[in-house]
Amino acid sequence: MKTIIHQLCVTSYLYDELIIPSTPSKADVLLMGKSGSGKTSMRSIIFANYIARDTRRLGATIDVEHSHVRFLGNLVLNLWDCGGQDTFMENYFTSQRDNIFRNVEVLIYVFDVESRELEKDMHYYQSCLEAILQNSPDAKVFCLVHKMDLVQEDQRDLIFKEREEDLKRLSRPLACTCFRTSIWDETLYKAWSSIVYQLIPNVQQLETNLRNFAQIIEADEVLLFERATFLVISHYQCKEQRDAHRFEKISNIIKQFKLSCSKLAASFQSMEVRNSNFAAFIDVFTSNTYVMVIMSDPSIPSAATLINIRNARKHFEKLERVDGPKHSLHMRMR
Amino acid sequence: CKENCTGNINLIKDVQHFTEHIKISELPQEVESALPFHVEPRNIVDDDPQERVSAEAAILNSRVHYYGRLTGSSDRLLSPPNHVIPGPEEIYVYSPLGTAFKVSGTDHTSRNPSIITIFAIWNTMMGTSILSIPWGIKQAGFTLGILILIFTGLLMLYCCYIVLKSRKAIPYVDTSDWEFPDVCRYYFGKFGQWSSLFFSMVSLIGAMVVYWVLMSNFLFNTGQFIYNYAHNVNMSYSEFGTNGSDKVICPYPNTDPEGNSTISTLYIGNSGNDTDVNSFEHWWSKTNTVPLYLIILLLPLLCFRSASFFARFTFLGTISVVYLITLVTIKAVHLGFHLEFHWFDTTQFYVPEFRLFFPQLTGVLTLAFFIHNCIITLMKSNRHQENNVRDLSVAYLLVGLTYLYVGVLIFAAFPSPPLFKDCIEPNFLDNFPSSDVMVFVARTFLLFQMITVYPLLGYLVRVQMMGQIFGSHYPSFFHVLSLNILIVGAGVLMAKFYPNIGSIIRFSGATCGLALVFVFPALVHMISLKRQGMLRWPSALFHSFLIVLGMANLLAQFFM
């Protein structure tokens, strides 16, 4: 299979474009930043990837191969170390530049807040932006100022504001959205949730429909998760909830559960949790999302809720297909 | 199945977490009993209905659990840094059995106050060399012996101080769990590592051989005492010694060729039944049979995998030393002082104050004051690290005083007019007959103490040798057994053919002292000063002189 596609690819390279209408095309999400800025940890935490110690010892993230992390259906995550000391990586990066930056949907650039070489970081960021302008001018740009837990609490807002101003200024004419993040507080989860929220096509319509759905089935709370990362895309709640961190906690728990399932070569599909006070249902929803429904009336039988969810699924899938992927139909393999 | 089973357990754990975190106040009975363990929600510290787990703590807990699944257990990439973890006063430890307790706000490593550290050093240094100090003082002469003891003590204290400092002077490397052999490896590479290991082994195996000889000695005397007590045999006429209740004997009197033979050696036959005693002596001989009986007891103990059981008995060592000090005091009070100062000339009963055999004392003292291979580890648990030098000096002072006290008192109280000062044995307990009750008690204490320390020493030898050569502490039963047979064999051979513990101590002390006390510390100190650019010529001269002293000490053992 692989060799056939490789041959197709070679011929397609010669013809420069090969249109294959039926397969959904993939686009890249580039996660870039200086080596040591925290990209591998970030990817591991968001996508529940196990980090083997040996690969880290190599120093730079040698992520030349096609990453297998896929989310939102057709987006593929690629990590690149930008501006490292390794001359091999530098040369490879420069020579493959056009290939890397073509067909990019999202660029997420990670800055280490503790970095001592601000000038150099900005310089590399700018060169990436240039490449984006040339090759994928429609890409969305996000900047993450990472490792904020190392900054003293009273100085965090100040430092972040400074960086944000600089970055917005440097990014013109592209518009970049900045977040401050740290793996040790809720900012990472919230930042990635915002990013994913902006990538969902027609997300407002999705939210309205979600609210209607929740009201119809008389649920306490309904959450919509992205399938791969369990980042909360949208939610509806009919009354105030006590725990502000509940989304991240649920995400962590499900991702741990998925890790355990994968050890048995099983995949997680659905879960029902019930006690005398509530019943919670987690199930596959559309091709990109999971839904979690929380009913506080335990007298409603599970079957009823499950049927409701199944019916809603059909409706939401239609919504997704109508506004299909906006990307051009190019297939790229590395 | 193993894979599946652990997977299933993780699944159950994850479900457990899920139910805990979502919203639980009570579960129906049948669900409760199905869970592996069930933690009552939140407030299990007291009866307050208010939740004690703060929101930040709960989410941090969730993150730590999750991140822990993403890396290997030894990988610290996703471990919470210190500034993220709340202070110890805010941390509760929840047990699955339904209780919670607070973490005490102490350091991770338990720290001891100075007095405990000083005591630990004193206890570790106090070995069987205390039995040889009077003999050493006799070999060097009384005045010269005292002077040498003080001088050697100070010298070894200084060398210990530079060993302690050596670890801190290494820049850019995390040396927090290094011992002195690791420092040697840093400066001298493989050669340093292997040679410091070799010399460390010399001191340990030397100590084990001395232990075997002494154990045979004490076991023999104990058996002799019990036999004589049971059979009412009076041995007093068969030994050359003083008369009276506090008998001191001279086990190997050599007739002085120059002096008058007015004192003849008295070898009167035993008053008991000849054949009985002779057969007992045949089966219970200090050099022929008793060392072999010990093999049956000690060889199995050496083959144990772990020595932690024996480490509990270190208190026996302290008791033995304290008892020895008491014994020495009582004997000195009963016997009185017998001192005459003849400065350079040899007399029949006394020894000169300055003798040429003084290197024998320095050899013994090198082993008596030796702690350089583990001082770093002992000092690590000192609560106030800035007092390390002071505590070390106090410990050395106490050790020196103890040795001095025992040595001087035994030497001075040795009844010289009937006996010769030259008779003082390398093991001063040999100068008391086996019928002496107090000394019998001392021998028994020491016997028990040595039986418990011997496997510890064997464990240390095994760990270091097997660890370096084969990479594992217990490669196989046969490897360990062969090593043990070699060590025990060395001990038995020494006990049979050359049971002079004074010589064994001085040779092994001078050998391991050469490397671990004089040469390596001085070299390491000079090299580190040179690298920092702070090496001045007086310091270089002094440390080179230390190296020369160490070599002279070893060479002199062969010639004197």
Least confident of B168-182, B271-285, B362-376, B541-555: B271-285
**Residue B550 buriedness (CB in 10 A; 0-12 / 13-18 / 19+):** buried
Q: Do B222 and B74 fall into the same domain?
A: no
Q: Where are the alpha helices (DSSP H) in B267-313?
A: 274-283, 290-302, 308-311
B62 and B183 fall within a common domain: no
| Cβ–Cβ below 8 Å for B77 and A260 | no
Kindly state whether residues B85 and B126 are assigned to the same domain: no
Range(s) of the domain holding residue B310: 114-165+174-557
Q: Which chain B residue has the Cα nearest residue A150?
A: B83
**Is position B109 within any domain?**
no
Which pLDDT score, from 0 to 100, does residue A12 have? 37
At B105, is the secondary structure helix, strand, or coil?
A: coil
pLDDT at B127: 80
Question: What CATH number has the domain spanning A25-198?
Answer: 3.40.50.300
The mean pLDDT value of chain B amounts to 80
Distances (CA, A) of B246 to B84, B422, B430: 71, 19, 14
Question: What is the four-CA torsion angle of B210, B216, B222, B226, rounded to 10 degrees?
Answer: 180
End-to-end CA distance of chain A: 15
Residue B392 makes CB contacts below 8 A (sequence gap 6+) with B121, B157, B160, B161, B164, B375, B379
Please state, in angstroms and rounded to a whole number, the distance separating the CA atoms of residues B447 and B436: 16
Q: Are B135 and B428 a contacting pair, CB within 8 Å?
A: yes
What is the per-residue pLDDT across B331-349, written as a single tens digit (0 to 9) for each? Answer: 999 888 888 888 877 777 7
pTM: 0.54
Q: What would be the CATH architecture of the domain defined by A203-320?
A: 2-Layer Sandwich (3.30)
Task: For residue B295, give the 3-state DSSP assignment.
Answer: helix
Predicted pLDDT at A92: 66
CB B105 within 8 Å of CB B88: yes
Smallest Cα distance from A264 to chain B, Å: 6
Question: Number of residue pairs across A and B with CB atoms under 8 Å?
Answer: 110
Partner residue opposite A51 with nearest CB, options B24, B27, B77: B77
Residues in B touching A56 (Cβ below 8 Å): 77
For A224, list phi and psi in degrees, rounded to 5. Answer: -115, 120
Among B3, B14, B59, beta carbon nearest to A249: B59
Q: Which of A142-146, B73-77, B376-380, B549-553 has the lowest mean pLDDT?
A: B73-77
**Residue A99: band (very low, low, confident or very high) from pLDDT cuts 50, 70, 90:** confident
Residue B15 has pLDDT above 50, yes or no: no
- Share above pLDDT 90 across residues of chain B, in percent, rounded to a whole number: 26
Instruction: Say whether B69 and A259 touch across the interface (CB within 8 A).
Output: yes
Residues of chain A with C-beta less than 8 angstroms from the C-beta of B14: 253, 256-257, 260
Range of lowest pLDDT (B25-29, B212-216, B457-461):
B25-29
Are residues B270 and B141 both part of a single domain? yes
pLDDT band at B204; cut points 50, 70, 90: confident
Q: What is the SS3 assignment for B97?
A: coil
For A255, name the nearest residue in chain B, comparing CA atoms only. B66
What is the mean pLDDT of the segment spanning B8-30? Answer: 43
Calculate the average pLDDT of chain A.
78
- Predicted confidence band of residue A15 (pLDDT cuts 50, 70, 90): very low
- Predicted local confidence at residue B109, as pLDDT: 55
Residues of chain A with CATH 3.40.50.300: 25-198
Residue B85 and residue B118 share a domain:
no
> For residue B282, is it within any domain?
yes
Residues B125 and B48 in one domain: no
pLDDT band at B250 (very low <50, low <70, confident <90, very high): confident
The reply to whether B31 and B137 lie within a common domain is: no
Looking at the structure, tell me whether residues B210 and B351 fall in a common domain.
Answer: yes
Same domain, B92 and B122: no
Facing A275 at nearest CB: one of B27, B55, B67: B27
Closest residue on chain A to B4 (Cα): A264
User: Structure tokens of A56?
Assistant: 């880290």
Delimiting residues of CATH 3.30.450.190 domain(s) in chain A: 203-320
Tell me the pairing of strands A176-180 and A140-146: parallel
- Among residues B557, B514, B554, B509, the alpha carbon closest in space to that of B129 is found at B509
CA distance between the termini of chain B = 71
Containing H/E element for B526? helix B520-532
Query: Which residues in chain B are closer than 8 Å to A277, comparing Cβ atoms?
Result: 23, 25
Mind listing the pLDDT tens digit for each residue in B463-520?
Answer: 888 877 887 778 888 888 999 999 999 999 988 888 888 889 999 999 999 999 999 9
Domain count, chain B: 2
* Chain A positions touching chain B (beta carbons under 8 Å): 41, 44-45, 48-53, 56, 149-150, 183-184, 186, 243-246, 248-250, 252-253, 255-257, 259-261, 263-264, 271, 273, 275-278, 280
What's the average model confidence in pLDDT over A318-331? 50
Question: What integer pLDDT is reported at residue B12 of this predicted model?
Answer: 43
Higher pLDDT, B281 or A176: A176
pLDDT, tens digit, for every residue of A253-271? 999 988 888 888 888 888 8
Task: Mark yes or no for CB contact A264/B3 under 8 Å.
Answer: yes
Contact B7 A264 (CB under 8 A): yes
Q: Give the residue from A253, A254, A267 with the most B CB atoms within 10 Å of its CB, the best one to mutate.
A: A253
Nearest CA in chain B to A248: B59
Write out the two tokens for A15: 């013809």
B96 with B133, same domain?
no
3-class SS of residue B251: coil
Residue A65 in this model has a pLDDT that exceeds 80 = no
SS3 B296: helix
Chain B: give the shortest CA distance to residue A73, in Å. Answer: 24
Chain B residues within 8 A of A47 when measuring between CB atoms: none
CB A230 within 8 A of CB A285: no
Please check whether residue B446 lies inside any domain of the structure: yes
Instruction: Please determine, for residue A6, whether its predicted confidence score (pLDDT) is greater than 70.
Output: no
Three-state DSSP state, B100: strand
Mark yes or no for CB contact B60/A255 under 8 Å: no
In this prediction, the answer to ipTM > 0.90 reads no
pLDDT-derived band at B212 (thresholds 50, 70, 90) equals: very high
User: Are B14 and A53 inside 8 Å of each other by CB?
Assistant: no
Say whether both B470 and B506 belong to one domain: yes
- Map chain A to HEC letters: CHHHHHHHHHHHHHHCCCCCCCCCCCEEEEEEECCCCCHHHHHHHHHCCCECHHHHHCCCCCCCCCCCCEECCCEEEEEEECCCCCHHHHHHHHHCHHHHHCCEEEEEEEEECCCCCHHHHHHHHHHHHHHHHHHCCCCEEEEEEECHHHCCHHHHHHHHHHHHHHHHHHHCCCCEEEEECCCCCCHHHHHHHHHHHHHCCCHHHHHHHHHHHHHHHCCCEEEEEECCCCCEEEEEECCCCCCCCHHHHHHHHHHHHHHHHHHCCCCCCCEEEECCCCEEEEEECCCCEEEEEEECCCCCCHHHHHHHHHHHHHHHHHHHHHCCCCCCCCCCCC
- Are B87 and B357 in contact by the 8 Å Cβ rule? The answer is no
Nearest-CA residue of chain A relative to B7?
A: A260
Q: How far is B545 from chain A (nearest CA, A)?
A: 46
Nearest chain A residue (CA) to B27: A275
Q: How confident is the model at residue A25 (pLDDT cuts 50, 70, 90)?
A: low
Q: What is the CATH number of the domain that holds B203?
A: 1.20.1740.10
Taking CB atoms and an 8 Å cutoff, what residues of chain A touch B65? 252, 256
In the Cβ-directed half-sphere of B221, how many Cα atoms lie within 13 Å? 26
Q: List, for residues B443-467, the tens digit of each pLDDT value.
A: 998 888 888 888 888 888 888 888 7
Question: B15 to chain A: which residues are within 8 Å by CB?
Answer: 257
